[in-house]
Amino acid sequence: MVEKIKAIDAYTVFDSRGFPTIECLMYLDGGHQGRAMVPSGASTGTFEALELRDRDPSKFGGKSVYQAIRNIKEVIQPVLLRNEVKSQHELDDLLIELDGTENKSRLGANAILAVSMAYASSIASYRGLSLFESLPAKRDNYILPLPEIQIFGGGAHSAGRIDIQDFMIICNGAGTLMECYEMTFKVYQEAGKILKRENRLAGLADEGGYWPVFDSNEAVFQILTEAILQAGLTPGREVSISLDIAASEFYDKNQYHLKLDNRVLSSHEFSALLGSWLEDYAICSIEDPFSEHDISSWRQFTSAWSDKIQIIGDDLFVTHRKRLENGIRDRLANSILIKLNQIGTVSETLACIEDAINAGWRPVISARSGETEDTFISHLAVATGAGQLKVGSFARSERMAKWNELLRIERKLSDQAKFANDYIQFPWQ
C-alpha cells in the first residue's frame, strides 16, 4: 500500500531556451514528495501528443503555460485527491481517461506528463529508493547506457545553417562510462579548435553542440572525422559517427530540399546520398533518415542497411505503441527514439520501451532541445536497460546534469553497474 496523494502544486519555470515550462510538486500524506520539470522540442513529429501553450502574444510571445498549470490544479488535482491511486499505471490511466483525447489535447501532454513524472518521483521518495530503482520497469540487470553525444548542431537546433540536425558520436570502443566521457571530451575539444582555426564557428546550438558555418553538409563529416583523429582515436573502431537527419524538417511535396547544398532530391536520390555517406564515413547510427510520411523509403532503406547500422525512428514512431507495432511489422527501422513528452505519461513510455526490447529493437532514451535540469531520463535509461541515452552535447548544464547523474547512479550501483558496450548487442556490431 502506497501513501495517498495529499496535494499537487504546479508553476512556471523556464527551459534551456528561456521558454516557459511546468514544474510540478506532488505531496503524499506521509510527508514524502516528488518533483518534475517537463521539456519541450523544437522539431516535433506530426503525431506527437499536444504540448499546451496559451498562444497569447502578450504573454511570453504566446509560449506561456498558464492554462496547462490551471488544468493541473483545477482539473487533475481534485480527481487524484478523490481516488486512492495505488500504482503508476493506475495514475496514468486516470490521467488519460480524464483527458479523453487521442493526443492529450484537452489537458495538455505537458500538464499530464508533469503530474506523471512527479508521482514517480514521490513514490521513489516514499520507498526510500533512487528513481531508477523505483520505476516499474522490467530488466535483467542495471545497465549504464552508451551515450550518444552531439558535436555539431544544425537544422531546427541552430537556425538552420546546416540541414542535418545532429552530428553526434558514439564511443563504441569505450569500456566504461568514464572512458566514454573522456573520448567525448577529447573529440568535442578538438572539433572546437578546428572550427576556430578555420573561422567556421558561429556559436552553440540549442543542445550545446557547435553551430558551424559550412558550404556543404558533407564538409561536416570531414571535420568531425578530423576531430576524432586529432583526439588520437580511430573512427569506426573507437568512436563512430551518429546522425539525426530530422528529414521531415526539409521534406516538402515529396522531395528533400537541402538548402545548404542548393539541391532538391527525390526520395530515391536522397536515399542514394545517405548510402554514399554510409559508405564513405564511419557512421554507425542514423535517425529519421526520411520524413514520417515517406514510408516506402523507410522500408527500402532499412531492408538495405539494417544489418549494418542502427536505424532510429523518432518522428515516425513518436513513442507511440501502435505506431511502433506497425513499424516492427513492416520492418521500417530497427530502433526507436524514446521521448517522454511525445506520448505524455511514464507508463506509456515504459510500455513502448518494453515492446521495442521484446521485438529485438534497441530503444534510445532522448532529451529534447528545450531541456531543464531535471534528470528523470538518466534514471529511465538505467531502469529499463535501454542501453543508449541521447541528451545533447558535452556542454551546457542542462545536458551535463544528465551525464553527471549517470555517474552518481554508477557510484550507487558500484559492482552491480554494467556498461552497455559489454552487455548489449547493437545493430552496428
Residues with catalytic annotation? 207, 339
The answer to whether 342 and 45 are in contact (CB under 8 A) is yes
Residue type for 422, please? D
What does R_g of the chain's alpha carbons equal in angstroms? 21
Gap between the Cα atoms of 61 and 356, Å rounded: 39
Q: Tell me the H-state helices in 145-176.
A: none
Sheet with 5-14: strands ordered across: 5-14, 20-28, 33-37
Gap between the Cα atoms of 6 and 26, Å rounded: 8
Element (H, E) at 342: helix 340-343
CA distances to 65, 113, 370 from 60, in Å: 9, 22, 15
Cell of 175: 569500456
Cell of 167: 552530428
Q: Nearest 5°: CA angle at 372, between 22 and 206?
A: 120
**SS3 state of residue 168:** strand
Gap between the Cα atoms of 73 and 58, Å rounded: 23
Rounded to the nearest 10 degrees, what angle do helices 88-99 and 346-358 cross at? 110
Gap between the Cα atoms of 12 and 18, Å rounded: 11
Element (H, E) at 388: strand 388-393
